[in-house]
Chains A and B, each alone.
Chain A
């Protein structure tokens, strides 16, 4: 993409008044997600949850939902955090935080579908990195959760153009990024990058957001980008895509991203892809429930 197009997107993202500023708790939250689980302090998480009333309410509601099977609703934030477990709280926090930052009124994309895909991809990324015995499962999870940030940007900064692209994609059953390219001349990867850079996200997250459709073009963190790319495709083939039938064949092993990962993780060759897909099917229901739990009120709020 030429610099001028990048400049136009960047300018548009900068100038749009409705473009959300980085949510206050976002960066501290990402920092917290980076820490190994044993070093995360309960009180810090409670503090983050309590910072925003609406997020605190969402966490309490999530904690009392049947999904988590608690005998009785927790009365305090601390109780909710303990009951849910830190990892789940962090996911809920990040999701609510982004969900609150981007009001979903008149989104061309169904927000429920978007979040199912994002949370599903996050979960697959973590599972995948566990299979590879990679150390940074939580980092992979976060990368999966954030990879499609650009769709949120497009919904707000380019609503008309993006609506046309989304309609074209589902009508022709082609991939959303191909439709974006045809209708807009750029994709959510570029607009996501513009916001990620404006928000000063860590470089590996910027790389994931910018290159998850073509990991071989990444400038750094290539194996993380490759992992997200493959997880994204797998989700789209197993019922956690963008809510329409994508007419395509996906050959993960033949994908350049597979080669990139294989260089770093030799045990990738031993991963049983069929079994991985079947296991993913088992988790789809849970993702659906988690999204409706977190998202139920967010929708009503708008």
Chain B
């Protein structure tokens, strides 16, 4: 059986499709243990597909041989990183995680608004760390603009969007997206916050862009990380998976001190901190988890 046969074009593979080689389940568990990214059983075919592409590039014939490669001490880290690249490829789009946006707008913002109600300057600071080509910060900005008509009326909203890659940051600044990146963006948002830009492309409107400051930042640059203070929310999706254990811990510690008390840190939808930090509280919202820096009044520090 070739790997291609295992890959179904349909997002709901029918039971008649050849069963997935159990080695891919082992690989899934290894990826979780090392990087904290979980692949649902129903999405296992995506993992199999990604492995298939890597196997082809490496000239590896069987999934079992590929497993040996992933677990051999010398090649393990490098190959896992390559595999993760394949797994997360093309995942980015605007409005990628509706449960996160719901948690933000329905639970977190009302709570923050109440907490900050007595402050003279009402300010909300959000950091999109590892913003890639800008889909996440623009999504956040549009949702915040929606709220600024009601709950956040009169608030100052600042979104910081950083990425290590210069080219990504430039693409992000341009704010022009095609159908694929916009596949989850509703008609309502397309009309309200975009203008047509050439063939089948849309460009974000200036008022969305105005909320965001784009810059290049290396998350391992300790001196710069120290200055990213006063955040209410940090989003860092599918970025930490590329860091080794100690660097990851360090970045997470930075995030903890970058956040205000009562602030939240979001990872990717099926990503976990793997207990690398015991100060953050893992909290649940419907359909999503986040890491919470307990507020001073909660007495849970």
Taking the closest CB of chain A, its distance from the CB of B236, in whole angstroms, is 15
Q: Is the CB of B284 within 8 A of A252?
A: yes
Q: Does A253 contact B (CB under 8 A)?
A: yes
Stretch at the interface among B58-66, B144-152, B206-214, B274-282: B274-282
Q: Chain A residues with Cβ under 8 A from B36's Cβ?
A: 274
Q: Is the CB of B300 within 8 A of A254?
A: yes
| Binary interface encoding of chain B residues 43-84 relative to chain A, with 1 for a CB under 8 A from any of its CBs, else 0 | 000000000000000000000000000000000000000000
Residue of A nearest to B108 (CB): A249
Q: Is the CB of B284 within 8 A of A277?
A: yes
Q: Chain A residues with Cβ under 8 A from B274's Cβ?
A: 272, 274
Residue of B nearest to A173 (CB): B106
Question: A237 to B290, alpha carbons, bound, how many Å?
Answer: 12
Question: A277 to B289, alpha carbons, bound, how many Å?
Answer: 9
Taking the closest CB of chain B, its distance from the CB of A195, in whole angstroms, is 30
- Contact-residue bracket for chain B: 20 to 34
Q: Chain A residues with Cβ under 8 A from B272's Cβ?
A: 272, 274-275, 278
Residue of B nearest to A241 (CB): B286
Q: Chain B residues with Cβ under 8 A from A285's Cβ?
A: 42
Q: Select one of B41, B106, B281, B289 contacting A274, CB under 8 A.
A: B289
Q: Select one of A246, A274, A278, A281 contacting B286, CB under 8 A.
A: A246
Q: Is the CB of A249 within 8 A of B289?
A: no
Q: Chain A residues with Cβ under 8 A from B287's Cβ?
A: 237-239
Assuming A272-B275, A274-B289, is B284 touching A250 (CB within 8 A)? yes
Q: Is the CB of B283 within 8 A of A275?
A: no
Question: A233 to B107, alpha carbons, bound, how many Å?
Answer: 16
Question: A119 to B191, alpha carbons, bound, how many Å?
Answer: 43
Residue of A nearest to B299 (CB): A254
Question: A273 to B273, alpha carbons, bound, how many Å?
Answer: 10
Q: Chain B residues with Cβ under 8 A from A275's Cβ?
A: 32, 38, 272
Taking the closest CB of chain B, its distance from the CB of A298, in whole angstroms, is 26
Which parts of A236-288 form the interface with B (CB within 8 Å)? 236-239, 241, 245-254, 272-275, 277-278, 281-282, 285
Interface size on A, residues (CB 8 A): 27
Q: Chain A residues with Cβ under 8 A from B283's Cβ?
A: 249-251
Q: Is the interface of B mostly helix, strand, loop or mixed?
A: mixed
| Binary interface encoding of chain B residues 227-261 relative to chain A, with 1 for a CB under 8 A from any of its CBs, else 0 | 00000000000000000000000000000000000
Q: Is the CB of A278 within 8 A of B40?
A: yes
Q: Is the CB of A253 within 8 A of B286?
A: no
Q: Select one of B111, B273, B292 contacting A251, CB under 8 A.
A: B292
Q: Chain B residues with Cβ under 8 A from A248's Cβ?
A: 107, 285
Question: A252 to B285, alpha carbons, bound, how many Å?
Answer: 11
Q: Chain B residues with Cβ under 8 A from A206's Cβ?
A: none
Question: A13 to B292, alpha carbons, bound, how many Å?
Answer: 43
Q: Chain B residues with Cβ under 8 A from A245's Cβ?
A: 102, 106, 286
Q: Select one of B40, B41, B107, B300 contacting A249, CB under 8 A.
A: B107
Q: Does A234 contact B (CB under 8 A)?
A: yes
Q: Does B218 contact A (CB under 8 A)?
A: no
Q: Chain B residues with Cβ under 8 A from A282's Cβ?
A: 40-42
Assuming A237-B284, A253-B282, is B40 touching A274 (CB within 8 A)? no
Q: List 6 A-B contacts (CB under 8 A).
A: A238-B287, A250-B285, A252-B284, A275-B272, A277-B289, A278-B272
* Contacts A251-B300, A252-B284, A274-B273 supplied; 5 other A-B pairs, CB < 8 Å: A239-B286, A239-B287, A251-B292, A273-B282, A277-B284
The 7 closest A-B pairs by CB, nearest first: A274-B272, A237-B284, A278-B38, A250-B284, A251-B283, A282-B41, A247-B106
